[in-house]
């Protein structure tokens, strides 16, 4: 039996459209309804045939749903929840895919009656693209999906949402929302902040032209440009909604960077060597855990 039969996705960008495609492939009998407040995005999702119906309003999109998923930037989830609250069927389960969880859980709970049916989710999978054309069905396969239900969530609803993600190929993990935000601050939010910073810094160095930066980017910089090409709205929202965890992680990073800086200044080669050797082990573990491939990616357009 399918965990849900009539799924509505609000926001049909990268994640919303990938979700629609994945549901189509894995649970073809599910009736899919989509809505996007950006008319051009909605039209494109329609053209791509991602949904059975594209609704004209948020309210209309949910009135028949048994699962509603918000796939909009995290700061927009509260408003989107308010928009649908009046039209939401009494027994529909409500979820999302936002990259921050504590504030989003709070925003959904404030707008929607029935805390037993709110089951926030975060698929830890994505790309640096946005919009409906960027999505693809396999995005969630072999990736983790973290659920962060509050204390009042009904265990049956949590199990249904878990089963939903497992059917899409993900491994599901339950976590307290605040802990999720701390974990993601270090594994995702800080890396993005650092990448945005370094790409900005490189554009502002007066002795080096920007065309030199581009030309010689294969030495490491290009990897940061990929991460820093991620959606500005999404990331602005992530940093503002996960402010405390991001700032405290950043503080630790700065301390560690200062220590390496000192070691360089004072020629402490042994300290540098030891630190650099430890990080190799982390890489091996990422590969062993199936979270990356071992192919040497620096030579990525190896022909």
Ligand X SMILES: NC(=O)c1ccc[n+]([C@@H]2O[C@H](COP(=O)([O-])OP(=O)(O)OC[C@H]3O[C@@H](n4cnc5c(N)ncnc54)[C@H](OP(=O)(O)O)[C@@H]3O)[C@@H](O)[C@H]2O)c1
What's the CA dihedral at 22, 108, 158, 14 to 10 degrees?
10
Task: Label residue 76 left, alpha or beta by phi (over 0 means left) and psi (-120 to 50 means alpha).
Answer: alpha
Please tell me whether residue 99 binds ligand X under the rule CB under 6 A: yes
Which of 56, 113, 142, 174 is in the footprint of a second copy by CB under 8 A? 142
* 78 counts as binding ligand X under rule CB under 6 A: no
Q: Of a second copy, ligand X, none, which one does residue 79 interact with (CB within 5 to 8 Å by kind)?
A: ligand X
- Decide if 115 contacts 150 (C-beta within 8 A): yes
Q: Does 291 bind a second copy (CB under 8 A)?
A: yes
Q: Which helix (H) or strand (E) holds 146?
A: strand 144-147
Minimal distance, residue 208 CB to a second copy, in Å:
5
Choices 1-9, 28-36, 56-64, 226-234 (CB under 8 A): range interacting with a second copy: 226-234
Binding of ligand X at residue 131 (CB under 6 A)?
yes
Structure tokens at 116: 């037993």
Q: State in angstroms the smallest separation of the CB of 100 from a second copy.
A: 12
With binding defined as CB under 8 A, does residue 232 bind a second copy? yes
Q: How far apart are CA 248 and CA 231, in angstroms?
A: 23
Q: To the nearest whole angstrom, how small is the minimum distance from the Cβ of residue 219 to ligand X?
A: 7
Closest CA to 88 of 111, 107, 56: 111
* Closer residue to ligand X, CB minimum distance, 193 or 234: 234
C-alpha span between 299 and 285 (Å, rounded): 21
Give the per-residue contact string, 32-51, with ligand X (x = CB under 6 A; - = no): ---xxxx--x----------
């Amino acid at each position: 039996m399918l965990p849900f039969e009539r799924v509505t996705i609000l926001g049909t960008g990268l994640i919303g459209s990938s979700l629609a495609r994945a549901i189509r492939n894995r649970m073809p009998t599910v009736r899919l309804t989509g809505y996007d407040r950006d008319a051009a995005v909605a039209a494109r999702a329609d053209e791509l045939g991602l949904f059975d119906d594209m609704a004209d309003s948020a309210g209309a999109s949910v009135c028949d749903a048994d699962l509603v998923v918000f796939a909009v930037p995290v700061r927009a989830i509260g408003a989107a929840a308010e928009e649908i609250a009046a039209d939401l069927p009494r027994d529909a389960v409500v979820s999302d895919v936002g990259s921050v969880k504590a504030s989003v859980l709070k925003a959904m709970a404030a707008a929607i009656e029935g805390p037993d049916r709110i089951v926030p989710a975060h698929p830890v999978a994505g790309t640096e693209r946005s919009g409906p054309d960027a999505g693809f069905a396999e995005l969630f396969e072999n990736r983790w999906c973290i659920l962060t239900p509050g204390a009042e969530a009904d265990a049956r609803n949590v199990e249904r949402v878990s089963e939903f993600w497992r059917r899409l190929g993900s491994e599901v993990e339950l976590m307290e929302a605040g802990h999720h935000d701390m974990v993601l601050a270090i594994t995702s939010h800080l890396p993005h902040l650092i990448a945005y910073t370094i790409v900005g810094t490189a554009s502002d160095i007066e002795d080096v032209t920007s065309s030199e930066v581009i030309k010689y980017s294969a030495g490491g910089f290009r990897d940061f440009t990929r991460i820093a090409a991620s959606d500005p709205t999404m990331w602005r929202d992530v940093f503002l909604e996960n402010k405390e965890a991001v700032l405290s992680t950043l503080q630790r990073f700065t301390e560690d960077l200062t220590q390496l800086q000192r070691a360089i200044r004072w020629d402490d080669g042994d300290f540098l060597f030891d630190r650099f050797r430890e990080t190799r082990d982390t890489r091996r573990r990422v590969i062993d855990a199936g979270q990356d491939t071992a192919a040497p990616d620096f030579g990525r357009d190896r022909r």
